[in-house]
Amino acid sequence: MVVYVAGEVLRRGVYTLPASARAGDALARAGGPAPDADLVAVNLAAPLPDGEEIAVPPKGAVFSTPRAARRTPGGSRRRSGKLLRRARYSTDGLSSEDGPAQLVDLNRADENELETLPGIGPALAARIVEFREANGPFGSLDDLLDVGGMSQRKLDDLEPYATLH
């Protein structure tokens, strides 16, 4: 399997690991935690699915709540208990509103989830879902440029928060 390790590690990158690997194994392949890493925020015992991203935040990071979860009564969206996936965090004690608290799968997300991405409002989220239903799953992030209203700048802004499965 292949995983991406980012954040407060010594060697960020993409690593190939055995199918039985855990998050701790991926961290070890990335050279271990950086001195400022908050290892409590990452479940090092979690099994890894292929294509997973492990983001190790710095100590003192504050996590944001997805806008869709705040807007939806009774919403149960939350950060994965297994790993910390590309979470937006800030070290100044203020929550970041720049992106969702976890990666958004563009091939599975509903309109509310898509709206948590930077630059994606209700109209564009609806067009993305409509395009995906008419044309099938996105093969790459660049395929979003075929959706009306999507620009290269918006794509660049949302790229760190999006994934395709």
Q: Which CATH superfamily is domain 104-165 in?
A: Photosystem II 12 kDa extrinsic protein (1.10.150.320)
> For residue 67, is pLDDT > 70?
no
> For residue 155, is pLDDT > 60?
yes
Ordered by start, the domain boundaries in the chain are 1-102, 104-165
> For residue 139, is pLDDT > 50?
yes
Tell me which of 87 and 20 has the higher pLDDT: 20
CA–CA distance from 70 to each of 37, 64, 74, 76, 163 (Å)? 28, 10, 9, 10, 22
Lowest mean pLDDT among 71-80, 104-113, 125-134, 154-163: 71-80
Beta-strand ranges (E) seen in 8-159 are: 13-16, 53-56, 62-63, 89-90, 104-105
The HSE-up count of residue 81 (CA atoms within 13 Å, CB side) is 1
Contact in structure between 39 and 33 (CB atoms under 8 Å): yes
For residue 154, give the DSSP letter.
H
For residue 146, give the DSSP letter.
G
The pTM score is 0.44
> What's the average model confidence in pLDDT over 57-63?
66
